[in-house]
Amino acid sequence: MSGKISSQTGLLEMWDNLRAVPRRIVDSAFRSGKPNTDRTRSTFIFGNLFLHLHSVRVHRWSLRWTTTFGLGIVCGAAFLITLVTGILLMFYYKPYPDVAYESIKDIHFIVPTGRFIRNIHRWAANIMVVAVILHMARTFYTAAYRKPREFNWLIGMGLLVITLALSFTGYLLPWDQLAYWAITIGANIAQSPREVTDALGITERFDPGEWMRLMLLGSDVVGPVALIRFYLMHVMILPLALTALMGVHFWRIRKDGGLTRPVNADQKLSPPGGDTYPVFSEAPARTYQIAAIVKGRTSQVGNGPENTVPSMPHLFYAELGLLMLTAFLCLAFSVVWDAPLKEIANPAVPENPAKAPWYYLGLQEMVSFSAFMGGFGIPAIVLIGLGLIPFVEREESGTGEWFGGPGGWPLARNSALFGLSAAIVVEAVAIRFGWIREWFPDAPQLLITFVNPGTVLTLVYASYSVWLIRRFQSTRAGAVGLFTCFLCGFVVLTIIGAYFRGPNWVFYWSPAEWPGH
Amino acid sequence: MTTVSKPARSRLDPEPIPRRDMLGLAALWAAGSALVLAVLGMARLPKAAVVSSPSKRFTVMLPDSLQPGQAFLPSDRSVAVFRDQEGTWAVSTICTHLGCIVRSTPAGFECPCHGSSFAPDGTVVRGPAPRALSWLKVSAAGEKLVIDEGTVVPPGTKVQV
């Protein structure tokens, strides 16, 4: 055929080539052809810039639903959705006080699909926060932070902090009452080290609180400068940082040898399906392509590819399914619940009660006893503690198993019961009988700062953890106790802040009892 | 073609760092410190040298009907002004806890955000507030009062107008 054409005129050949253009563009982009053999499925992945963060084959243990519940992918999917909807919102949003509020109103009432897109943005952000917290809990309870994955646990903490910061900065942008007062409170929490420097009488010379507040707001009021700063962080700095860290996070999963699995994962799995077969008869002694230059052993060494399946399609279809599920949840919630928009910001009259987004209500509850310890000290202690987990807990038993390690599930359950009851008891005392200032009106401020329900709870939890370490002779048991307790404390304080605090941050059994105002 | 025979080295005469290594290391350190200095320099930009904020001084006219113990609240300002036989004074209504605006009540002040409450003179009665409410500078300008939200005076400073 080609011989026949080439014997014809050049014009005919050009026509033929033109007709072949679409096919040849596709061929030149995806050189390996359809991914229908093991070889082309591999090249499909490592020939693609975006896909090659994945390894070519994935262990069947990683694909079990109960290994991860897909939480990490849900985080990434939710971020992708906020990214797309966020860019769409930027078409109309104007970051200047009062004008910002009007532009959100325009988005809500006039812009085609504007309200829907804003709702999706809001819901995806909420889902992302929930998924990040659950994902961290999954990683902890399956002891997946252990060697060689310690560094990825730290990266994950960075992602948690950036996710919360993204939510916080996004909260100001609508410039409504909710936004204005939440950010006023947030900025004053940044200033709260003054509580200590004032008590020590050194604020004149050393005032880190004011410095942080000034860097955050760029002014001494929440005004145009602050709004631009929050906007810049929300749409540029934080998403870029998050994307970069996400890249490292995913890449490290691969470099650390895939997802954690128990040593006896292969025995626990059912026999492989018909499409799984041994690829090599021996485990490699070195990693393949860079064997000539790399010294030492990588995580692949000694692990044959047995019991793995090609990532294309098995892993990618699972990931696509989770993306669709996340998108479905966002859409469904957005149809039913609108993102809130209150009255325009009024610097003279605070909302009463002025509540932060739900995931900060636990903090707000602690802050209602001491701004510094609640908003600064205890979060810092929690972050440092989380970061230390993989470096202090160096045991090996139970890796990759839910509630693995000494104590197992009963320990986690008992810790949860202990954590919940301790938080409820301490809060009940503070709500029923008041706290130090109600008993001794002249108590010094330092006492009130450092002895309050938040710090008492932290101490109780820490002692419980030490007791567990002694009882089980295991740092893992102590870590499980501590992590579970803090998770439970977070839940209790968040629920109290969300449902049981009314005007003047007074305790009410239900909002129906709130005094009319 | 001559071969230079190297002199024997001793502990007192060690092998020198090769010149190229030395230059390379110096260049590396210079580049590193330049980058660090550049980052420090850039960090100066977001820290505003001049803070733009609305004027903190304003004038008010107290109504004749203002009774002792009753607060006069100028609109758009976070200040409560009081008057009794001893004079006139102004108390900031910005909560010292986290910056919410406190409400004036017959018993003093109450913060809506985290439940701090203050006596009429601004001292903390209950709640998480770490400091008393600030007393602000009041001065007379003819019939009117000038209040400066930026200048704090000792509690109990009352001005005869």
Nearest residue of A to residue B51, measured between CA atoms: A219
Task: Please check whether residues B61 and B37 belong to one and the same domain.
Answer: no
Q: CB of B152 within 8 Å of any CB in chain A?
A: no
* A403 three-state secondary structure: coil
Q: Please indicate, yes or no, if residue B8 is contained in any of the structural domains.
A: no
Assess: ipTM above 0.90.
no
Q: Are residues B85 and B101 in the same domain?
A: yes
Is residue B88 included in any domain, yes or no? yes
Say if residues A503 and A352 touch (Cβ distance below 8 Å): yes
What pLDDT is attached to residue A55?
86
Mean pLDDT of B14-26: 80
Q: Where are the alpha helices (DSSP H) in A393-474?
A: 408-433, 436-439, 445-450, 453-472
d(CA A82, CA A112): 18
Among B36, B52, B68, the domain-final residue is B52
What is the predicted pLDDT for the residue at A33? 79
Q: Which pLDDT does position A280 carry in this prediction?
A: 55
For residue B12, tell me if it sits in a domain: no
Residue A461 has a pLDDT of 96
Query: B26 in a domain, yes or no?
Result: yes
Same domain (yes/no): B31, B78? no
Q: Phi-psi category of A357—alpha, beta or left, where left has phi over 0 and alpha has psi -120 to 50?
A: beta
Ramachandran class of B5: left when φ > 0, alpha when ψ lies in -120 to 50, beta otherwise? beta
Q: Which residues from chain A sit within 8 angstroms of residue B51, using beta carbons?
A: 214, 218-220
In chain A, CATH 1.20.810.10 sits at 51-189+233-261+308-343
Measured between beta carbons, which residues in chain A are less than 8 angstroms from residue B52? 219, 223, 225
Angstrom distances, CA of residue A64 to CA of A56, A68, A261, A268, A274: 17, 8, 11, 12, 17
Residue range of the domain that includes B91? 57-153
- Among positive and negative, which fits the CA dihedral A24, A28, A29, A32? positive
Domains of chain B: total: 2
Hey, which residues does A309 pair with through a beta bridge?
Answer: A58
pLDDT of residue A170: 93
B35–chain A Cβ distance below 8 A for any pair: no
Per-residue pLDDT, B64: 84
Residue of chain A whose alpha carbon sits nearest to that of B124 = A441
Distance, CA of A353 to chain centre: 27
Establish if B56 touches chain A: CB-CB under 8 angstroms: no
Mutate to test the interface with B, among A178, A181, A213 (most CBs of B within 10 A): A181
User: CA of B161 to nearest chain A CA: how many angstroms apart?
Assistant: 27
Tell me: do B113 and B42 sit in the same domain. no
The one-digit pLDDT tens for each residue of chain A (517 residues) are 455 555 678 899 999 999 999 999 988 888 777 888 888 888 888 888 888 888 888 888 999 999 999 999 999 999 999 999 999 999 999 999 999 999 999 999 999 999 999 999 999 999 999 999 999 999 999 999 998 999 999 999 999 999 999 999 998 899 999 889 988 888 999 999 988 888 888 888 888 888 899 889 988 888 899 999 999 999 999 999 999 999 999 999 988 888 999 888 888 887 776 665 555 555 555 555 555 555 555 555 555 556 788 888 889 999 999 999 999 999 999 999 999 888 999 888 888 888 888 888 999 899 999 889 998 899 999 999 999 999 999 999 999 999 988 989 999 999 999 999 999 999 999 999 888 888 888 888 888 889 989 999 999 999 999 999 999 999 999 999 999 999 999 999 999 999 999 888 889 998 888 886 5
Q: Are B72 and B23 part of one and the same domain?
A: no
Q: In terms of domains, do B62 and B131 share one?
A: yes
- Do B73 and B123 lie in a common domain? yes
In the structure encoding, which two tokens stand for residue B67, read together?
A: 């009774």
pLDDT for A105 equals: 95
- Evaluate whether residue B144 is within a structural domain: yes
Residue-level pLDDT at A75 = 97
If you classify domain A51-189+233-261+308-343 with CATH, what class do you get?
Answer: mainly alpha
Of A388, A397, A417, A349, the C-alpha closest to A479 is: A388
Whether residue B33 is found in the same domain as residue B86? no
Same domain, B24 and B66: no
Report CB contact under 8 Å: B100, A185.
yes
Q: Of B37, B52, B67, which marks where a domain is finished? A: B52
State whether residue B53 sits within 8 Å of chain A by CB: yes
Buried b (16+ CB within 10 A) or exposed e, A245-277: bbeebbebbbbbbbbbbbeebeeeeeeeeeebe
B-chain CB neighbours of A434 within 8 Å are: 126
Q: Are residues B71 and B26 in the same domain?
A: no
Q: Select from A198, A214, A354 the Cβ nearest to the Cβ of B113.
A: A354
Domain assignment present for residue B41? The answer is: yes
Is pLDDT of B52 > 80? no
- Determine the pLDDT at residue B76: 83
